[in-house]
Chain A
Amino acid sequence: MLDSINADFTSSFWGLYVAGLVTISLLVCVLILVLNMTSRETGAPQVQAHTWDETLQEYNNPLPKWWLYLFWGTLVFAVVYLAVFPGYGTANDDRGARAEYAKETEKFQQVFDKYAKVDVAALAQQPEAVATGKRLFLTYCIQCHGSNAKGSPGFPDLTDNDWLYGGEADTVKTSILEGRAGVMNAFGAVLSGDEIKDVANYVRSLSGLSADAARVQRGEAVFAANCTVCHGPDGKGAASMGAAFAALGAPNLTDNVWLYGNSEAKIIEGVTRGRNFDNRSLKNAMPAWGEFLGEGKVTLLAAYVHSLSQKK
């Protein structure tokens, strides 16, 4: 909130305007009450002078006293409220609300901050921390990875101990903290349609899926020439070539675990357009959460994610 509400107005007139209207309307209410107060007369209520529709007449019945006092009560309440809140004109005070908000935020921040530098693998052994991590996961991650963390096409399963970037506790933490965006070249411009179909069949054969034998044979050469730099010489994924390569994120193509689907058409589409490569390729990424969540929450999340594949 701005420090002074007066400074927020384009001119100091508005303070007077608000105060003036409030005062006038209060006074008018008082005036109306005073002018219309009549005391109840004894005997039968009087009939008013006018007659509508030939025979229709009205009694003139003043309000009961207690009702009248309620009116006065609202006026007194208004004045007291304006003074105590305070809300008269530009008088402004949040009555400590902002300070309280800051204090609460600080309190919860500390709860999470103390996890920031804790070892993730150790934390994954603490049921309480894992439970907190799970709640955080349900708030921030299920849109992509699913409430059971089993993912969906394009969004990896986090429970299967098959990792794009490696499953060490700290690697998982880095994935969450800094985000990930695996890049694969678009081969549409480099390879012919036939070559792509060949290599797609070869890739399917790696997981033991049905594939055209002649194409598999030709595809093997295409794979060796174009794909092994990232997916590894035997297609077991970047992480299989050592930790230094894990950051490439190229998945293991031999395990029948698929990020985007195992149909020939899906594989051809991916290889042709590439991933996160140019403006024609399929773009998909893991957002970076460090800045938004802070390291403490990220560590708890990493502990939860890590624990998922440790159970088996």
Chain B
Amino acid sequence: MAQSNKHEAIERNVFFLIVLTLLAVSVGGLVEIVPLFFQTSTTTAVDDKGNKLDVKPYDPVRLVGRDIYIREGCYNCHSQMIRPFRAETERYGHFSVAGEFIYDHPFQWGSKRTGPDLARVGGRYTSEWHRTHLINPRDVVEESNMPAFPWLNRPADFSDVQDKMRALRQVGVPYSDEEIRTADATIKAYQNEELGGIAPTELDALIAYLQGLGTALRNVR
């Protein structure tokens, strides 16, 4: 054989081929993804200039609201990721920074905008507006093609919220034992202060979640 046939050694040994393939495809991830887990700006609540942000783990009501957001597939039409382009920061506010999402498991960045981005919708509209809009978007925005979610006007299920908090703690959300134990009391307090004593519906929980979105970087561009 005049020709060198070094590749034959690899091709004839399936195990060796697999190991080399894995090595080759993992280089990109090792260089571009792994170091992100060791950067302050991606693992702690700071903004793009390194200032501390007031980001807290979801309280029990918002946590349940977030699960409703996921269950109803809101992420199919709404992103939660404002890109650093002027056109976007004009409409929504400051672009999203990694530090805002450290307690999101999984994050709701989304990839499709049929509707507007929701990363900073918190505090932008009133809760009454959200209520009307979710029950029938056409009642406030005539041209809207967002589906109506009238069935959300039913009691929210909080029975497993402590388990949810424990599960999130497993992946690094710093809920204290105290916070988990008093989850029911937190929900009761919310019910009394915000809802005049009426048990929260799924709408209430979802709106509580929406009203907390992106508030750590409000009113700045």
Contact flag A143-B141 (CB < 8 Å), given A2-B41, A279-B195: yes
Of B71-79, B120-128, B154-162, B174-182, the one contacting chain A is: B120-128
| Contact (Cβ within 8 A) B35 A9 | yes
Give the nearest-CB partner of B43 in chain A: A10
Asked if A46 is at the interface (CB within 8 A of a chain B CB), the reply is yes
Chain B contacts for A281, CB-based, 8 A? 196
Q: From residue 4 to 57 of chain A, which have CB atoms closer than 8 A to chain B?
A: 7-11, 14, 17-18, 21-22, 25, 35-36, 38, 41, 46, 48-50
Task: From the candidates A46, A153, A287, name the one contacting B2 in the complex (CB within 8 A).
Answer: A46
Q: From residue 179 to 220 of chain B, which have CB atoms closer than 8 A to chain A?
A: 192-197, 218-219
| Contact (Cβ within 8 A) A36 B219 | no
Chain B contacts for A155, CB-based, 8 A? 129, 140
Contact flag A292-B219 (CB < 8 Å), given A9-B38, A143-B141: yes
Most buried by A among B3, B27, B48, B84: B3
Chain A contacts for B93, CB-based, 8 A? 292
- The 8 A CB mask of B104-148 against A (1 = contact, 0 = none) is 000000000000000000011111110011000001111100000
| Contact (Cβ within 8 A) B221 A11 | no
| Contact (Cβ within 8 A) A278 B128 | no
Chain A contacts for B128, CB-based, 8 A? 154, 282-284
Q: How far is the CB of B63 from chain A (nearest CB, A)?
A: 22
Of A71-79, A100-108, A117-125, A238-246, the one contacting chain B is: A100-108
Task: From the candidates B3, B30, B132, name the one contacting A60 in the complex (CB within 8 A).
Answer: B3
| Contact (Cβ within 8 A) A278 B139 | no
Contact flag A38-B91 (CB < 8 Å), given A146-B141, A146-B142: no
Q: How far is the CB of B144 from chain A (nearest CB, A)?
A: 9
Chain A contacts for B38, CB-based, 8 A? 9-11, 14
Chain B contacts for A101, CB-based, 8 A? 84, 86
Contact flag A38-B139 (CB < 8 Å), given A105-B221, A143-B129: no
Give the nearest-CB partner of A186 in chain B: B196
| Contact (Cβ within 8 A) A8 B40 | yes
Give the nearest-CB partner of B139 in chain A: A152
Asked if B170 is at the interface (CB within 8 A of a chain A CB), the reply is no
Q: From residue 146 to 175 of chain A, which have CB atoms closer than 8 A to chain B?
A: 146-147, 152-155
| Contact (Cβ within 8 A) B31 A287 | no
Asked if A280 is at the interface (CB within 8 A of a chain B CB), the reply is yes
Task: From the candidates B5, B27, B50, B125, name the one contacting A48 in the complex (CB within 8 A).
Answer: B5
Contact flag A1-B3 (CB < 8 Å), given A142-B141, A155-B140: no
| Contact (Cβ within 8 A) B3 A143 | no
| Contact (Cβ within 8 A) B39 A144 | no
Chain B contacts for A147, CB-based, 8 A? 142-143
> Please, how many angstroms separate the alpha-carbon atoms of A168 and B77 in the complex?
40
The interface size of chain B toward A, counting residues with CB under 8 Å, comes to: 48
Q: From residue 274 to 306 of chain A, which have CB atoms closer than 8 A to chain B?
A: 278-285, 287, 291-292
Asked if A193 is at the interface (CB within 8 A of a chain B CB), the reply is no
| Contact (Cβ within 8 A) B196 A144 | no
> Please, how many angstroms separate the alpha-carbon atoms of A7 and B49 in the complex?
12
| Contact (Cβ within 8 A) A8 B41 | yes
- The 8 A CB mask of A49-92 against B (1 = contact, 0 = none) is 11000000000101000000000000000000000000000000
Q: How far is the CB of B17 from chain A (nearest CB, A)?
A: 14
Chain A contacts for B129, CB-based, 8 A? 143-144, 154-155, 284
Asked if A139 is at the interface (CB within 8 A of a chain B CB), the reply is yes
Most buried by B among A22, A144, A287: A144
> Please, how many angstroms separate the alpha-carbon atoms of A281 and B90 in the complex?
33
| Contact (Cβ within 8 A) B27 A21 | yes
Chain A contacts for B141, CB-based, 8 A? 142-143, 146
Chain A contacts for B194, CB-based, 8 A? 279
Task: From the candidates B31, B39, B84, B127, name the one contacting A22 in the complex (CB within 8 A).
Answer: B31
Asked if B8 is at the interface (CB within 8 A of a chain A CB), the reply is yes
Q: A2-B49, A8-B50, A146-B141 are in contact. List 10 more A-B contacts (CB 8 A).
A: A2-B41, A9-B39, A21-B30, A36-B7, A60-B5, A142-B141, A147-B142, A279-B197, A285-B126, A287-B125
Q: List 23 A-B contacts (CB under 8 A).
A: A2-B41, A8-B39, A8-B40, A8-B50, A10-B39, A14-B38, A35-B6, A41-B2, A49-B5, A50-B8, A60-B3, A108-B86, A139-B91, A140-B91, A143-B125, A143-B129, A152-B132, A154-B128, A154-B129, A154-B132, A283-B128, A287-B123, A287-B125
Give the 4 A-B residue pairs with the shortest CB-CB distance, closest first. Answer: A280-B196, A279-B196, A291-B219, A284-B128
Residues of A within 8 A of B (CB): 1-2, 7-11, 14, 17-18, 21-22, 25, 35-36, 38, 41, 46, 48-50, 60, 62, 101, 104-105, 108, 139-140, 142-144, 146-147, 152-155, 278-285, 287, 291-292
